[in-house]
Structure 1
Amino acid sequence: MSNHPAKSSIIGAYAIAIAEALEDRGLSAAEIFRSCGVTLPATTDPMLRIDNQTIAKLYSAAVDATGDPCFGLQAGEMMRPANLHAMGFALLASISIRDFAQRLSSLYRIVSRNAEIRTEERNNVFFLITSVAAGASVCHETHDAYTSLIFNLLRAISGNRFRSRKLELIRPAPPGLEHVFREYFQCDVEFNRPELVFAIDLEIVDKRLPGASEELAQSHDRTVMEYLQRIDSGDIVSRVRAIVSSELSSGTLNKDRVADRLHVSTRGLQLKLTARNTSFQEILDETRRTQALAFMSRSSVSVTEAAFSLGFSEVSNFTRAFKRWTGMSPSEYRRSLGLER
């Protein structure tokens, strides 16, 4: 265990889920952890991390002890919201599945830097897509636990009514056990795919969820962002994102302004962001999109207020951007959440 947030690591509380899954099978988690030279964490503090190699060692020992190649699925079930710190509770309070997906994409790095998460829409299907971050080496059981975690969170927020049209997994098919995954996820499952993909009917993505609470979600979001600033204090992308978030409404936000705040040249900033496979414009768009969805999920914020708070000079520009992000105008999005008639 380490308090250093290395790139190829995961929140230490993840190990607690592995231990609980072992105990649920009647096995001694303490003995198995000791055999791997790992101390079972006693806290869900997101600053406590565990490296991928140690996680893989724990899973290998757990699979040997249980004789179950699908053990990762059960470990994922044990990942309760509290294991994910404030992000878990923010996800449970999400307004819609789209809001959940955007929050997962924006905040998941508090749990792990192994994943890069995005969404796409094609032919009336919404895709929640996870790829493995460059340089990360992740065992099959970690893939299984992550997939199980997301699936069970989606079921929890939808009142156990969530169904995926199809699921694509990165891991290869376990010989003779393909049916276990199809029965568990209750849909067609494809293995050995380049990315992990939940394919979801677009018609359910923007429906207001039973436990939706924008105020609660945003409160937990702020807690997560505080921890992320500590974890990513030396991360140029996080530093740019923090400046963009604080100055969106100023009317003076641009690449030169951010470079000046960071005491680097504009070209130097551009090179640093390029090295991280992003750009100032991408960070600006991502930040605006995340905040726009939050604003449009609150009936107390008008479209005009949201537009100017996000730094748009014209409401029409905000409307066009919002439609590009969601496929709907702000008013249509609000109607889909039951906030307007």
Structure 2
Amino acid sequence: MDTSFGAESSRRDDALEPTTISSYTVAIARALEASGVDSSRIFRAFGIPKVTSSDPLARLPTTTMTRLYRACVDETNNPYFGLLVSKYIHLSHLHALGYALVASSTLMDYCRRLERYFRLVSQVAKVSVLEEDDKVLLRVDYLADISGETEDAFFGFLLYSMRLLYKPEFNPLRLELHRAMPHEGGMPYEALFRIPVIFSQANGLVVFAKRDMTQLLTGDCPELAQVNDNIIIGYLAKLDKSDVITGVTQKIIEFLPNGDCTRDRVASALCMSPTKLQLKLSQRGTHFQQLLDDTRKELACSYLRQASRPVTEVTFLLGFSDTSNFTRAFKRWTGLSPTDFRQQA
């Protein structure tokens, strides 16, 4: 069967409904095989090819995923099939986002990446991270109707991957799911998450203790995380061709090192006039200078966490003419000098 189906499906269906990265189906296939079911037979029935790469531009529509999950539950007679799938989702299935998550400095850093870049993996939900006193809340607002198995797989994967990167005994404080509790009960959820689970809520929500979220992870590698962040932004620009903010951010990152990152140049690179660019950004509640500042700040913090980069190199990469200009801007963003920030980090 032609394995280009996923990319073609993306081009046909992107404008019609949300999509999910097709490499996610690798975990579904492995869960089927572990249940004694021939995954090839199930996939053929839905016209889904065997996935051989994690190309984030190869996508599957949400309705296809929902029908696939329904068939999997029927075939396996397992109402907790989504939880089983979560065991087989590998971070590499998420392409550059997976590698960036592995290289995150802390679990808070991990969650912020999910918040910024989750749509690379799936367009069915928006992830938000909130801080309340000594807690960190990760909320999932669903933008389309999804199966309960999809929600189960996401939150199960979230916990499995966090335990892998941090420590096996790590637990959340609270978990709320949008899905209804299966008729068979909630015991498998409590066994996995090690806390009571609340079902039938408006959104998905998981609450963590902030002290756990700020511990340095053993895989901490700001250089690797930054490289993959840039790759993600490039793919998002292709995936969200109508998203002007993603397009502008990508061009800012591209043009900053040569010191010629102006609104006019970015507009020209996006094949529009500066006036049209300004209008499109204002419709999204922002403007070019704000995006330039935000991008520079995020990159500056990432670069300064990379001990091998001298401040002079960071100054150049961010398009500043000299270190004094960069230092003034960084103090305005963070209240700290670059040197003080690096020492604290």
Deviates more, 1:291-300 or 1:244-253: 244-253
Deviations 1:246-278, CA, capped at 9 Å, x for gaps: 345777766566445535455533543466676
| 1:175-194 superposed matches below 5 A | 175-194=183-202
Distance in 1 (alpha carbons) for counterparts of 2:189 and 2:236? 33
Q: Which residue matches 1:166? A: 174
Give SS of 1:55's match.
Answer: helix
Deviates more, 1:265-274 or 1:188-197: 265-274
Structure 1 unaligned spans of 5+: none
For the Cα contact (< 8 Å) 1:169–1:196, is it kept in 2?
Answer: yes
Distance in 2 (alpha carbons) for counterparts of 1:59 and 1:17? 12
1:10 partner amino acid: T
Q: Which residue matches 1:218? A: 226
Q: Which residue matches 2:55? A: 45
1:218 partner amino acid: Q
Q: Which residue matches 2:27? A: 17
1:11 partner amino acid: I
Is 1:64 aligned to 2:68, yes or no? no
Deviations 1:272-293, CA, capped at 9 Å, x for gaps: 3466676656644653453244
Deviations 1:174-228, CA, capped at 9 Å, x for gaps: 3452232222112343323333222222222222101212223233334434433
Q: Which residue matches 1:321? A: 333
Residues 197 and 331 of structure 1: CA distance in aligned 2, closer, same or farther (over 3 Å): farther
Structure 2 unaligned spans of 5+: none
Give SS of 2:7's match.
Answer: coil
| 1:247-286 superposed matches below 5 A | 247-248=255-256, 258-259=266-267, 261-265=269-273, 268-273=276-281, 280=288, 283-284=291-292
Identical-residue share of aligned pairs (%): 32
2:334 partner amino acid: F
Q: Which residue matches 1:122? A: 132
1:96 partner amino acid: T
Residues 75 and 321 of structure 1: CA distance in aligned 2, closer, same or farther (over 3 Å): same
For the Cα contact (< 8 Å) 1:159–1:210, is it kept in 2?
Answer: no
Deviations 1:132-175, CA, capped at 9 Å, x for gaps: 23xx3322211111111221111111132432121222223334
Give SS of 1:2's match.
Answer: helix
Residues 280 and 56 of structure 1: CA distance in aligned 2, closer, same or farther (over 3 Å): farther
Residues 196 and 269 of structure 1: CA distance in aligned 2, closer, same or farther (over 3 Å): farther
For the Cα contact (< 8 Å) 1:322–1:330, is it kept in 2?
Answer: no
Distance in 2 (alpha carbons) for counterparts of 1:189 and 1:132? 18
- The partner residue of 2:216 within 199, 205, 208 is 208
The alpha-carbon deviation at position 244 of structure 1 amounts to 2.6
Q: Which residue matches 1:240? A: 248
Q: Which residue matches 2:114? A: 104
Residues 87 and 32 of structure 1: CA distance in aligned 2, closer, same or farther (over 3 Å): same
Distance in 2 (alpha carbons) for counterparts of 1:318 and 1:70? 49
Kindly report the root-mean-square deviation, in angstroms, between the aligned alpha carbons of the 2 structures: 3.2
The count of corresponding residues between Structure 1 and Structure 2 is: 331
Is 1:75 aligned to 2:75, yes or no? no
| 1:300-319 superposed matches below 5 A | 300-301=308-309, 313=325, 315=327, 318-319=330-331
The alpha-carbon deviation at position 64 of structure 1 amounts to 0.8
Distance in 2 (alpha carbons) for counterparts of 1:333 and 1:97? 19
Residues 241 and 69 of structure 1: CA distance in aligned 2, closer, same or farther (over 3 Å): same
Is 1:2 aligned to 2:6, yes or no? yes
For the Cα contact (< 8 Å) 1:99–1:293, is it kept in 2?
Answer: no
Deviates more, 1:172-181 or 1:306-315: 306-315
Residues 297 and 174 of structure 1: CA distance in aligned 2, closer, same or farther (over 3 Å): farther
The alpha-carbon deviation at position 322 of structure 1 amounts to 3.3
More contact order relative to length (CA 8 Å, sep ≥ 6): 1
